[in-house]
Amino acid sequence: MNSKMSRIAIVALLAFIVACATNPVTGKRELSFMSEAQEISTGQESHPQILKEMGSYDHQGLQGYVSDIGLRLAKSSERPQLPWHYTVVDQPVVNAFAVPGGFVYITRGILAYLDSEAQLAGVVGHETGHVTARHSAQQYTRAVGGTVGLAALSIFVPAARPFGQLAEQGLGVLFLKYGRGDELQADSLGAKYAATNGWDPHAVPQFLATLGRLSEGSEKGIPNWLSTHPDPASRVDEVTALVQKLAAGRSDFTVNRDQYLQRIDGIIYGDNPEQGIVRANVFLHPGLRFRVEYPKGWVIQNTPQQVVAKAPEANLFLLLQLVQKPQGRNVQDVAAGSMRGFRMLDGQRTTINGLDAFIGVYQGAIEGLGNVTVRAAHIAHNNQVYMLAGLAPPQAFEQSDGTFLQTIRSFRPLSAAEAENIHPNRIDLYVARQGDTWESIAERSGGVVTAQTLSIMNNSQPRDRPTPGARIKIVVPG
């Protein structure tokens, strides 16, 4: 081996040593391209973007309640020195996730499915464990090759202007799947942290069983727990064995079900009207004062940047997003600037339910979809311009165009009275009566959730009747 090769080998060895770090939980050396300082920096840089993308949600001091539980758990963890932050984000999907550096998030959607403070501590402890064991840092290492930053989340379509906001400011790297080994370790750490702080660790297998009953894909929005934390039900037996050891000889654990139910009483269930709300196949935005009716059966995805609807089993999309209107320009000029990069085949100035609009047909290419034909309407409403566009492969455009036009022409303003009458669905507490069934309760609460969903929310089975006198969670319509 010559001297040059020796120097290369030494440099490579040093790089490998630097890239290896001791795992705080296992004490083992492992490959990592993120130092603790980089983990903290990543979390601090990501936090404002997460809040912008998802929003924070507070209700009767909910943020402080969750934060206090998280900080108690973190203090007893292997990494108490991290700048821990615990946040409830304003998303209806059932999920929780962690960012390197001590930043942990749970969605308000998951709160409806937890049945006690002990279960909440188990979920928060689980995500804390992903940070302390450096699972989240390893996800970043694998996803971005050691660089610090956020990868784009493509919900339906990869980014391509003028449809770039379909992926811009996305948070996809947060939702990479953990491996089974990481999940089992996080389950164990969550149970240990909970038990150390006096919560019943049996709540961990309980919430795993509950989440395992949720149908994958039943929730909208960001990926749900089942897609990011695979197969929770299969881990129940393994974590139960650990829980039995943690609980051996102790009878002083707390569950705090009533305290937890009081905290979540009245929280929003499903979409928040402040960001727009989906009712069946209609999107309503009371703040911006408009409504759009989508084809029945299409999946409608609402995010802070845009609303995207997708046809079942077909690459047909409808996109709604706000366009910044240049000062002094008319709607036709705005359309021309907005669709730059696409070739216009046809277009005309028109009105849609009394609103000034320009509707055109365009051709172009979008990464991931290839060539597309687009029916795009630019609609002026309340000093804003909205783009409502249907996208299809060229060979499918002609048969889809009628559907696109029908949706475009459904865009209409909401009156002040209509906007004021749009309210969210909310969690309510109900004392079960003799003769109640999950079916009868679901019907009485307006049918906004199924009997199956209500039973899952209350840690029960659909075939079992609610116990008379028990306080249970129901959903009341807005």
Q: Is there a single domain that holds both residue 416 and residue 450?
A: no
Give 17-56 pLDDT, tens digit per residue: 444 566 666 656 665 667 889 889 989 998 998 898 888 9
Lowest-confidence region among 102-111, 323-332, 386-395, 435-444: 323-332
Q: Is the pLDDT of residue 154 over 80?
A: no
84 and 74 Cβ atoms separated by less than 8 Å? yes
34-52: string of b/e by CB count within 10 Å (b at 16+)? bebebbbebbeebbeebee
Q: In one letter, which amino acid is 243? A: V
162 or 241, which is more confident = 241
What percentage of residues in the chain have a pLDDT greater than 90?
Answer: 55
34 and 100 Cβ atoms separated by less than 8 Å? yes
36 and 237 Cβ atoms separated by less than 8 Å? no
Residue-level pLDDT at 22: 64
Cβ neighbors of 273 (< 8 A, separation 6 or more) are 284, 285, 286, 287, 422, 423, 424, 478
Angle at alpha carbon of residue 302, lines to 136 and 333, rounded to 5°: 120
Mean pLDDT for 237-265 is 92
Residue-level pLDDT at 347: 96
Q: Is there a single domain that holds both residue 155 and residue 180?
A: yes
Mean pLDDT for 83-104 is 93
Q: Is the pLDDT of residue 335 over 60?
A: yes
Q: Is there a single domain that holds both residue 264 and residue 278?
A: no
Q: Is there a single domain that holds both residue 63 and residue 80?
A: yes
Among 475, 452, 459, residue whose Cα is nearest residue 467? 459
Residue 8 lies in a domain: no
Residue 410 lies in a domain: yes
d(CA 357, CA 386): 9
Angle at alpha carbon of residue 319, lines to 318 and 321, rounded to 5°: 155
Residue-level pLDDT at 226: 61
Residue-level pLDDT at 132: 94
Residue 15 lies in a domain: no
238-264: string of b/e by CB count within 10 Å (b at 16+)? bbbebbeebeeeeeebebbbeebbebb
Lowest-confidence region among 53-57, 165-169, 207-211: 165-169
Q: Is there a single domain that holds both residue 189 and residue 142?
A: yes
d(CA 380, CA 425): 30
- Domain count across the chain: 3
Residue 24 lies in a domain: no
Q: Is there a single domain that holds both residue 120 and residue 264?
A: yes
Q: In one letter, which amino acid is 472? A: I
Q: Is there a single domain that holds both residue 385 and residue 313?
A: yes
Q: Is the pLDDT of residue 145 over 50?
A: no
Q: Is there a single domain that holds both residue 189 and residue 89?
A: yes
Q: Is the pLDDT of residue 162 over 70?
A: no
Residue-level pLDDT at 367: 73
d(CA 33, CA 21): 9
Residue-level pLDDT at 24: 66
Of 420, 438, 454, the last residue of a domain is 420
Q: Is there a single domain that holds both residue 370 and residue 465?
A: no
Helix 257-264, helix 117-132: angle, nearest 10: 80
Q: Is the pLDDT of residue 137 over 80?
A: no
- pLDDT class of 303 with cuts at 50, 70, 90: confident
Of 375, 403, 420, the last residue of a domain is 420
Q: Is there a single domain that holds both residue 321 and residue 234?
A: no
Q: Is there a single domain that holds both residue 432 and residue 333?
A: no
Q: Is the pLDDT of residue 173 over 70?
A: no
Burial (CB count <10 Å: 0-12, 13-18, 19+), residue 363? middle
- pLDDT class of 328 with cuts at 50, 70, 90: low
- pLDDT class of 214 with cuts at 50, 70, 90: confident
Give 441-477 pLDDT, tens digit per residue: 999 877 788 899 999 999 998 889 999 999 999 999 8
Residue-level pLDDT at 254: 96
Residue-level pLDDT at 224: 65
478 and 286 Cβ atoms separated by less than 8 Å? no
Residue 4 lies in a domain: no
Mean pLDDT for 165-171 is 38
Q: Tell me, what CATH number does 331's domain have?
A: 3.40.1000.10
Please provide the DSSP assignment of 161-209 as one string. TTSGGGTTT--GGGGPPPPHHHHHHHHHHHHHHHHHTTB-TTHHHHHHH
Q: Is the pLDDT of residue 438 over 90?
A: yes
258 and 431 Cβ atoms separated by less than 8 Å? no
173 or 255, which is more confident = 255
Residue-level pLDDT at 94: 87
Q: By residue range, what is the domain housing residue 394? A: 273-420
Q: What are the respective helix, strand and coil percentages of the chain, to the nearest 5?
A: 40, 25, 40
Q: Is there a single domain that holds both residue 109 and residue 192?
A: yes
Cis-peptide into 162, omega within 30 deg = yes
d(CA 76, CA 192): 9
Terminal alpha carbon distance of the chain: 76
Q: Is the pLDDT of residue 264 over 80?
A: yes
Q: Is the pLDDT of residue 188 over 90?
A: yes
Q: Is the pLDDT of residue 151 over 50?
A: no
Residue 17 lies in a domain: no
Residue 120 lies in a domain: yes
Q: Residue 278 corresponds to which tokens in the numbers above?
A: 């989906």
Cβ neighbors of 45 (< 8 A, separation 6 or more) are 148, 149
pTM metric for this prediction: 0.79
Lowest-confidence region among 73-77, 171-175, 322-326: 171-175
Residue 447 lies in a domain: yes
Burial (CB count <10 Å: 0-12, 13-18, 19+), residue 415? exposed
Of 269, 293, 325, the last residue of a domain is 269
